Chain A
Amino acid sequence: MARQLQAGWCCVASVVRRARLLVVLCLLSAAPIAALAREGDEHFGLPQVKFINEQVAAGWSDAKLKPSEPASDQEWCRRVYLDIIGRVPTVKELDDYVADSSPVKRANLVGRLLGEDYVDEYARNWADVWTTVLVGRSLENDNVNRSGMRQWLRRSFSKNIPYDRFMTDLVTATGVNKAGEKGFNGATNFLSGKLEDNGIQATAKTAQVFLGLQVQCTQCHNHPFNKGKQNQFWEFNAFFRQTRALRQFEGTRDVQAIELVDEDWAGEGGNASQAELYYELRNGQMKVAYPVFIDGTTVDPTGYLPAKMDDGTDYGVNRRRALAQLMVDSPLMPKAAVNRVWSHFFGYGFTRPIDDLGEHNAPSHPELLEGLGERFREQSFDTKELIRWITLSYAYSLSSRIAKANAADDPAVGEKPKFSHFYLRQMRPEELYQSLLTATEADQAEEKGEKAARKKDEWLAQFIIAFGTDEGDEATTFNGSIPQVLMMFNGDLVKTATETGKGGFLDRVATSDMTNAQRIDALYAAALARKPTRKEIKLANQMMVARKGDAISALQDIWWAVLNSNEFIINH
């Protein structure tokens, strides 16, 4: 795609398209253009940002939409902290950003959030996101060691491991899944709980997460309305058949750890040089399958692992390694990756659900999806660069206030997203948890690393509903429903955040040498990244009166109200 555009001068269609893009950019309302001009280069010198801006703008023009105004500095700052490092900014971080007069202040902040200063928080946030993707939120699964999974993810993200290696490490992992054990490799947790029943879950989840293919139905039959065929499921499944999960028990029952190993596999037919499996058609007929990738690429069907023969020649195949390489080379892999990351920042991906890129499910911006994927590959799958492009895009800078000229752009009612304004979305529970720690300055006192993460897991458990199926499906009541509001009203987390004990956050605010007005300002900045309105100040003052000069109790009431608001919990 990139090459096509660059070579576009000799292609009529491309020339027309380019001309149209120019028109579109000229049609943007004057104010945003002025804002862009103030920043000098509206693409921050990044061709990938330029590409995103042009593609998204083309979508606006096609749909006859105009984008909203850009978000305020405060709004944008809160948003980018939440999305990149998973928490709201501190008052100081907010002030620093607002005070920065550089024309490229946005690029500077993104650079800082992706840099050394925030590497631990960045890694924590993305480890949370990916733990949920890879093993879900439930604590119930004995075959997964969440702590091991998260430690591996945190290390991968703190080192910014390229995405192709990240995926390969997960798909090919061998070793023990629990930290502290000999041979520990936390990456094994992705598959450690998915190898039962001949690895059906490993097959379905690998295809879904990394290729955006929904194959779980084709285990039993050809897909009723896409091109998925039953043989493809089992040919994909064949890649996992050398892999075994060995359980180490503690006492008699409790699984202590799981070791993933690859072993020579004789196949269900007993001939290891042609190691095959059988599956059953709906009509009861048995069929045979060998490892074949979804694009039809075949792999040597031997069940032997790689080794040297006596005469020095190589033989054997590590099927998972072969699969990982085919996935890295597949055009679906970068598309699935950029779709996931895009949806993290915009609330919606280019397809719904984001992990279904099948032909029956047309994306909202096919060229952008394709082109962004190609650029991700060209950039050696550098996830931080992808995040930089997305967060510096013009669409990401827009206000969440809906304008008349883009009211039709509402994916919540089922329209395809056009990204003409920022879409509201509730914080993930992990983001809320972390934001409350930050807003009350409790993060400094908090234990770091795994101990803190386990505490968070336990808190999260109250929201998880497991459906009790073999696939480990789950849902959450952290979805804007009554249990969530009750938790915010009366739960321990907010109780702690609003406690008035000596040395706590509210106590420090109350005993500082600020005026009452400044104290109220401080609470608003910490939680909402804005100043209170006149009406809010009036109500706050009434609260001071009602508490009869007991300032800390009044601050507690105000703080409780602020933390319980839609504005706090909704990323806007």
Chain B
Amino acid sequence: MSVSSRFFDGMSRRHFMSHVAGAAALAAPATAFTNSILANAADLKKRHKAAILLWMGGGPSTMDIWDLKPGAATGGPFKPISTSADGIQICEHMPMMAKQMHHMSLVRSMSTREADHMRGRYYMHTGYVPNPNVEHPSYGAVIAHELADQVPDLEIPPFVSVGSGSVGPGFLGMSWAPFVVDSNGNVRNLDMGIDPTRLSQRLEMLSAIEDKFIGEKRGASSDDHAKVLSKTVKLMTSDQMGAFKVMQEPKDVQDRYGNTGFGRGCLMARRLVEQGVPFVEVDLGGWDNHADIFKTLSDNKLPELDKAMAALVSDLSERGLLDDTAIIWMGEFSRTPNINGNGGRDHWARSWSVAVGGAGFKRGVVVGETSSDGKEVVTEPYSAQDLMASVLKSLDISLETTFTAKNGRPMKIANAGKVIKELFA
């Protein structure tokens, strides 16, 4: 296979060179750069769907956030407050989100079985329980895979994970792996430091070695390596990388999201979606509160979450992006209704809540109900695959899609979950 088709992935050599030359623009004044991005965003934002997953690593206690049980022995000290959505009450430590709840909906009837971190993380990300013989693709890989055609000019990875590793692409292959960045948007080792002609000569030499090794038929990983090389070259030479530069936002916008890792991550998610990235995951860890949970939540976790999430929802709405952008808030599971001897809550998957909004979701509704002590779902229970199917539907992705796993077995998208119909008009 020739160099141009392997590494430049359909781009002509001249096109490639112009991108390399464009990399010099990285040194250009920031304003000019920002302007070109804004112009691009205006152009792109009407045309593509996207999703932002707010991943709450560790398993947040949803009965202290979205489904309060004041007065119950299991209820904890927090009080519910009313919100901008009729009849929805949430935790008093989420006052800013309370003003945005007309954009969001709650599913209070999640009921799952995976209460181990790694298993729960895998299950909630893929809709499948871990299986030693097959690796399933996560939300980001599935959605990027299905929506990539909508953004043919995208030169940066279609699946970006801010702060955490997310879950990988499974049988969809390394091309759909999450591109992991820190919340400051720093991408390491981006600078080539050599002139473009020389780089392309090096790549030609490299391509010959790659091709030879692939031609010897030793297994798929040699081919995957070449594919990722090609994506890397594309990214290195793209001015779309500016979307990661969250510090280029005006100060008041940065302040709105909060000067926290999660705040910057949410702001970056908005910038990336504007740029055309179909899937962004932003991680907020620290929810594994086996001890002293209430102080941790009220003083630390909830204020950080509230500010950034409320800013994201309202900002997307103001920019006209919310109707095309799904937001999913969830962790791997929730925490026990019973409060343990250390003033904490342990792992609990049987009855819990998630929040969704944007895209095709109906807004301002509550789906499902738990018992007065929070220990049981008393309405129809929903699973990870049901949630995933609903998110895909909100993005107009066909639930009839079937993938073929590497072993040749057909795999229905979202593990054939059923759509949570109350979330749709």
Contact = CB atoms under 8 A, between A and B. Distances in A.
A55 B170 CA distance: 31
A268 to B, nearest CB: 11
A477 B209 contact: no
B407 A415 contact: yes
Contacts, number: 189
A412 B217 contact: no
- Determine which residue in A217, A468, A477, A564 has the highest number of CB atoms from chain B within 10 A of its CB, and name it: A468
- Determine which residue in A216, A415, A557 has the highest number of CB atoms from chain B within 10 A of its CB, and name it: A557
A542 B116 CA distance: 57
A489 interface: yes
B218 A401 contact: yes
- Determine which residue in B202, B203, B209, B222 has the highest number of CB atoms from chain A within 10 A of its CB, and name it: B209
Nearest to B209: A565
A30 interface: no
Interface string B190-231: 111100001001111110111011101111111011101101
A491 B285 CA distance: 29
A379 interface: no
B236 interface: yes
Contacts of B209: 528, 536, 561-562, 565-567
B17 interface: no
Interface string A204-239: 000000000000110011001000000000000000
B338 interface: yes
Contact of B117 (A402, A471, A540): A471
Given A467-B164, A565-B213, A566-B226, A490 B189 contact: yes
Interface stretch (A181-189, A298-306, A421-429): A421-429
A414 B134 contact: yes
16 contacts: A197-B290, A217-B115, A361-B132, A400-B219, A413-B408, A414-B406, A467-B121, A468-B58, A469-B288, A473-B117, A473-B118, A480-B225, A485-B228, A489-B192, A490-B190, A557-B201
A487 interface: yes
- Determine which residue in A356, A402, A483 has the highest number of CB atoms from chain B within 10 A of its CB, and name it: A483
A482 B232 contact: yes
B164 A465 contact: yes
Contacts of B232: 482, 485-486, 489
A470 B119 contact: no
A401 B217 contact: yes
Contacts of A491: 188-189
- Determine which residue in B219, B228, B231 has the highest number of CB atoms from chain A within 10 A of its CB, and name it: B219
A423 B225 contact: no
Name the interface size band of chain A.
35 or more
A326 B222 CA distance: 45
B286 interface: yes
B294 to A, nearest CB: 18
B363 to A, nearest CB: 31
Q: Which 8 A-B pairs have the closest CB atoms?
A: A468-B285, A413-B406, A414-B133, A561-B205, A566-B225, A465-B165, A561-B206, A565-B209
Interface residues of B, number: 69
Contacts of A533: 208, 212
B405 A413 contact: yes
Nearest to B131: A414
Given A566-B226, A570-B221, A217 B204 contact: no
A353 B219 contact: no
Interface in B147-178: 157, 164-165, 168, 171, 174, 177-178
A549 interface: no
A490 B117 contact: no
Given A414-B405, A566-B226, A467 B221 contact: no
A436 interface: no
Contacts of A528: 209
Contacts of A118: none
A352 interface: yes
A486 B226 CA distance: 13
B360 interface: no
B347 interface: yes
B229 A557 contact: no
Given A486-B188, A486-B189, A540-B205, A402 B288 contact: no
A251 interface: no
Contacts of A489: 189, 192, 232, 236
A352 B130 CA distance: 11
Contacts of B204: 539
A546 B204 CA distance: 13
A410 interface: yes
B174 A539 contact: no
Interface string B106-142: 0000000101111101000000000011100000000
